[in-house]
Every structure is written in C-alpha cells, then in structure tokens.
Structure 1
C-alpha cells in the first residue's frame, strides 16, 4: 500500500508540473516545430510538459488499484495539449486547408441544392461525411466551417476516445493498461486523417465496429442478438457511405476476425461484403470510371513499396521535405519496434486476443501492398496499424525492464510526434491564408487558382505554380486555356511551401517582383501575408 500511495503522489506531482510547463510554453508567438527549434524554448517547455504528463500517467499504469478517473483526466489533458495548442498560438491544425479548400465546397453544394452530384464532386461518391457536416450546420443554424476547421480535430480525438476505450476495455484486462494503450494510439498517430475529415469519421465507425465485435455480449450471443444485428448494420452502413478505403479495411477486419475464430459463423462477413460491395459498385460508380484503371495498373506492384513519395516528383524535393519524411519513417518504425517486442512478450504472457490482433495487423499489411492511395499508401496502412501497435506495446508493462524501455521510448517519441505531425510547414495555414480564401469564395465564380489554399470545386481548376511558365507575359501551363480568370495567391505561405518542397528560397520573392511590374496581372487583394494577382483571361 505504501508503494501505491507513493506512486500516486509522484503521479499527481508530475501532473501539476505538466500543467505549469504547458502554461509557460504557451507564451510563445507561434507553434511551428522543426528540427532546429524543437529543443529550444518555448517548444522545449511544451515537450517537457507532455513528458511530465506521460511520466505521471506511467506511475498510474504500474499501480495495482484501478486509477480510471485520474488516467482519464490525464488523457484528456494530453489531447488538449497536442491538438489545441496550435490553435491557441494562432496556427492551425494540419487539416484546416483541406476543410476550406476541399471539404467545404462539397458540403456547400448539399446545403444549396439538398442533393449530391457525384459526377461534379468526386467526394460525393461517399457523401456520409458531408451530410453529417451539413446536418451540424443546419442544427446550429449557422455555418460551422471556421469552428470545425480549427477545433474539429480536437473534438474528433475526444469523440474517438469513447469507442477506443470500449475496444481496449474488451481486449486488455488491466484497467490501467487500457489507458497506456490509448496513450500509445494517440502519441503514435502523426497521420492527419483522424481529424474531422471523411477518413477520420470512417475510422471512428471502424473502431465502433471493432468495439462491438470484441464485446463479451457479442461473443456470447455470437452476434445473433437483434440489438447487435441492428447496431452492426447501422455502423457498416454509415461507414460504407463515408470512406471507401476504411470500409474495405472494415471488410478485411471482419474477415480476419472470422479466420482467427474470434467471430463465429459467416453472417457478419456476408453482410459486410454485401454492403461494401453494393455501394462500391453502384454508389461509387462515377469514381471508379476514372480511378479503377489507374488502381489496377499500380495495385500490388511491390517494387514501389520502398520508394519515397518524393521520388515520384522528379527528385527535386527540398531538404526540409526529405527531412520530415525521414522523421516520419523513423518515428513510425519506433512504435513498430515496440509492438514487435510486445509480440515477443506475448509468447510468454498469452491472451486470447493476441492472434486476432495479429490478424488485424495483417489487414494493414494488405492495405500497404495494395497501394490504393498511391504515394499515401504508407500513411494509410500505418493508420490501420495503430490499434494492434497499441495493444502489443502495453504488453511491455508486464515486467520491469520492458516497462522502462517502453516509457523511455514514449518520452523520446514526444518531440518525434511534434515533428512528424506538425513539422511539415506546408500543412499549416495562417488566418491570413484563410482570409484570402474567403475573398475568392465571396467574390469569384470561376477561375484558375495557383498558390495558397487549394480550391477544388467545379468551374475552378488548381494549377501548380511548379508547372507554370511565362508565355506572352502570362504564367501558363498545359491545363491553362485562358477560358477562366486566373488568380495567383502569392505570399508568405507560398514562399514557405516552395522552400519546403523544392529548397528554393529565391523563386517566390522573384516571382512577386515580376508580378508587381507585370501589365498582365493586377493586384486585387492584399493582407499582411498574402496577395492575390488577377488576370481576366480570354473571356
């Protein structure tokens, strides 16, 4: 009992220290981790704050008495630290640019017409997320765009916590170890897809499905209870119309759990095949008309597995881009290594869920080899590996030496998470970028867009600055016909992107100088960090 009381006291001390350090770290002017400033104030204070919270949690993980309430509190503080700090410091979540440029136009069409148009809006082939997004705005009576762009990621982590805890409660006997698995899941996840985005909502439904399948009641009734069937149908239906890859992953997960004999019978598998298959063939037919041939050509070409995504861009990637890519591979490998150690320990500390979780990791391997998402196949496969990684990593808490290894790796992983998650400066957008986007949204109807936040919408075409060349006083490319007006968003973020991707710090300033003196372009919008140059086009 004395040891328990001592561990609890140390935990509370580190918890208080974490809050104090976090408060001091928020005195910084921005949130932009990179390899040069990650171990300098104020980011160093932020790293120490999360590390202190991790230590406070680790003391509780080793206690024999359940500490659910305090561990739950620490987990929520961790989520707030990692996902709200960028917003507090006037930066943005990684997904903000997609929320404005990609997802909002899809939701806007539904709100204006009350229907979907898969031919014009590719994402409408899986409209579940956008219907949900529209429903939230309709229920609130106002647009939730800005709120969800900046605060949606944190809310998504909190929402994900519920089925995640239920899942780990089903498969991890020790109550304190369940929270260790949750820590590993969130800390290992640098992939910016578990946000308020289509795949994020899809993963939420997938984890709900896994939590249901692994529940004791489902196992006893073998999934035949009416309530279980209804919930499974609803979750599968919602998942199927929300995100293709995640619905395919769900189908493979069900198959894996049937093969591992965790799920008895084939009813659930048949249901998943019917729902995913029917929607894929019928509901997403427009998408497959354009994407299926390309997918078939590259699917399971294993020689491409170890090519960095930058290799496909002509080998011109900047040093910063390559550096962050390497950090992400090393960081992911760090957690994969912990999971491998956990698998080895499972030979000694066996549990009936060990083989089913290995089967789920096999699903991630299939996703990896399929290369359905082209250059993103590594990140999507790692995303589906998070649950097995978290499950096997907490096996290390079973003895003292492996516990020390696990906690040491988690502490080292904290700055790694910041670099892997937020280190790609091109993923971040400022409030000034959003203001420029709002100008285009409010005062234009069509056009060619280059630079700034992407604008994926019918009658708008994004032209990469990299593919534009000067011709007759205009910046034009292969897809430029002069049919629409042209808008060039040139500013601080454009320069940052160019340096990050191509390592060239001279191009954007020189381009801006030329545009200022050009007779073909006029300055129609300006704020502190972004200018928009306009060319009327042929019409």
Structure 2
C-alpha cells in the first residue's frame, strides 16, 4: 500500500505540467518546478524501500518492484515532461550516425570520437536493419533503458558479495540513486559502461577462488559457485568479446574526454 501510494503521489500531480511550468525552471533543474506532492511521493518511495528492508525475511518481488519504480521515477521524468530529449551531445551523435549512413566511412581527423566508431557503426547498422529513420524516441528513452540494463549485471555482481540480503539490496539501492546521471545519454561511454559491468560481474562471480575453509561460509558466499574448467572456456570467450566491443566502442584511457562528455 505504501508503494502504491508513493507511485500515485509521484506521477498523478504531473498531469498538468506543461512547457509553461518548465519555463520557471532555475539552476536546480526539474526539481525546482515539480509539485510538492511529487516530491512527497519520492520520499514515500524511500520509506517503502526502508519498510521492505525491515521485514523479517526477504521479499524479492517487493524489493525489486521498489527498485524498478525508483529507476523509472528518476530517469523517465525528463523524458515525460521535457519537449526535447537531453543532451546536446546526444544530438551530435545522431549526426555521426547520419554521416555513416551516407558515406559508410569514419573521419578521424574531424573529431576524436571517430577513432572508436564501433558504437556509432553498430547503432547505425541496427537502425538501418530495422528501417528506423527518426531516432528522437531513442534519444528520449535511452537513459532509462540503459539504467534498467545496468541492473542485470549489478544483481549478478551482488551474488559474489559476502554480505547479508539487506546489505546487498542497500548496495543496489545506492547504485540506483547515485547512478551515472549526465553520462547515460546516447553515447559510447554509457553503453561501454554496461559492457564493463558485465565484464566485472563475470570475473568476480565465476572466476573467483573457491572458499578455503569448508563449512565456514560468510553470508551470501554460497549464492554462486565458481565455474568449472569447461564453463570457464566459454566465459573467457565472452570476456574477450566484451573487451573487443569495448575497444571498438570507446577509448580505454583516459577515462573521459572533452569530446564525449556533455558541456558542464
């Protein structure tokens, strides 16, 4: 009931929000024009998660629902309210896709991002194969979809964490609240971060050393056992594929660049 009230209180007051309301936005961003009831709904989402953690046993469906609805509340709000998708750099990347569609070639001397064109080439290939010409909706919903996809390797990674179920859910909750906001737009780095999470999760879950003291396991340690030699060969091939896609999709070092970050 608390979760249902939180969702209703968050979204229902936004039905009358239009461009006129958004024009009053100040340096604080969307939070400066949101109704008080919506902010109260956000607070109730936090209360619902805390209440789920206080239960004597783990309710996966309830905790997962709170987590997913929190992601939607945080990252779908700009897509629902704002007339145009964020950010300016994402629109530049659509220009990269258009250039590839017209010429089929990269231009490394024009922009540093052409030195790792794998992401743009892959996106343009999929768009052309699906017959999609207007990618505005992709820009609008890309941050939300990407943040939801991040949760899959995150939950896999948490299986290797030696902690109780409350600590693991708190880690997932903090990951959602402190997500890579401002870098999750349509870009190579946002997608490569997803590959990075998958890479790290596979290493820590199936390539970790077995426990040295049988019968003495810490909380959460027995969730996933290390993979056998045969499975490790397959997983190693997956790791190599992820590494190859990362190299082609985005630079390895430095960790960020002025050409692929939004203007601050």
Settle same-fold status: TM greater than 0.5.
yes
Match of 2:17 among 22, 25, 28: 28
Match of 2:5 among 9, 13, 17: 17
Higher CA-based Rg: 1
Say if 1:72 and 1:187 are closer, same or farther in 2 by CA, change over 3 A. same
Match of 1:236 among 201, 226, 243: 243
Say if 1:35 and 1:85 are closer, same or farther in 2 by CA, change over 3 A. closer
Deviation at 1:39, TM superposition (A): 6.8
- 8 Å contact from structure 1 (residues 57, 71) kept in 2: yes
- 8 Å contact from structure 2 (residues 188, 250) kept in 1: yes
Match of 2:188 among 176, 198, 211: 198
Match of 2:37 in 1: 45
Secondary structure, counterpart of 2:159 in structure 1? helix
Once residues 129 and 109 of structure 1 are traced to their aligned partners in structure 2, the CA distance between those partners, rounded to angstroms, is 14
Match of 2:117 in 1: 127
Deviation at 1:196, TM superposition (A): 2.8
Deviation at 1:170, TM superposition (A): 2.1
Correspondence 1:371-386 to 2 at 5 A: 373=257
Match of 1:146 in 2: 136
Match of 1:161 among 151, 157, 179: 151
Match of 2:60 among 42, 58, 68: 68
Match of 1:227 among 231, 234, 253: 234
Q: Which has the higher contact order (CA 8 A, sep 6+)?
A: 2
Structure 1 segments, 4+ long, off by >6 Å, are none
Matched, 1:89 2:75: no
Once residues 237 and 209 of structure 1 are traced to their aligned partners in structure 2, the CA distance between those partners, rounded to angstroms, is 11
- 8 Å contact from structure 1 (residues 25, 45) kept in 2: yes
Superposed CA offset, 1:47-88 (max 9, x none):
221211111011222334222212111122111111112222
Correspondence 1:271-286 to 2 at 5 A: none
Gaps of 5+ in 2: 210-225
- 8 Å contact from structure 1 (residues 21, 46) kept in 2: yes
**RMSD of aligned residue pairs (Cα, Å):** 3.1
Matched, 1:99 2:106: no
Q: Which protein is richer in strand relative to its size?
A: 1
Say if 1:152 and 1:144 are closer, same or farther in 2 by CA, change over 3 A. farther
Once residues 69 and 35 of structure 1 are traced to their aligned partners in structure 2, the CA distance between those partners, rounded to angstroms, is 34
- 8 Å contact from structure 1 (residues 93, 153) kept in 2: no
- 8 Å contact from structure 1 (residues 72, 179) kept in 2: no
Once residues 33 and 112 of structure 2 are traced to their aligned partners in structure 1, the CA distance between those partners, rounded to angstroms, is 44
The TM-score, its normalising length taken from structure 1, stands at 0.41
Gaps of 5+ in 1: 1-12, 250-366, 381-425, 428-500, 502-539
Correspondence 1:286-365 to 2 at 5 A: none
Once residues 75 and 235 of structure 1 are traced to their aligned partners in structure 2, the CA distance between those partners, rounded to angstroms, is 27
- 8 Å contact from structure 1 (residues 83, 93) kept in 2: no
Secondary structure, counterpart of 1:193 in structure 2? coil
Deviation at 1:14, TM superposition (A): 2.0
- 8 Å contact from structure 1 (residues 218, 228) kept in 2: no
- 8 Å contact from structure 2 (residues 9, 41) kept in 1: yes
Superposed CA offset, 1:386-433 (max 9, x none):
xxxxxxxxxxxxxxxxxxxxxxxxxxxxxxxxxxxxxxxx98xxxxxx
Deviation at 1:236, TM superposition (A): 0.7
Once residues 223 and 237 of structure 1 are traced to their aligned partners in structure 2, the CA distance between those partners, rounded to angstroms, is 23
Matched, 1:180 2:170: yes
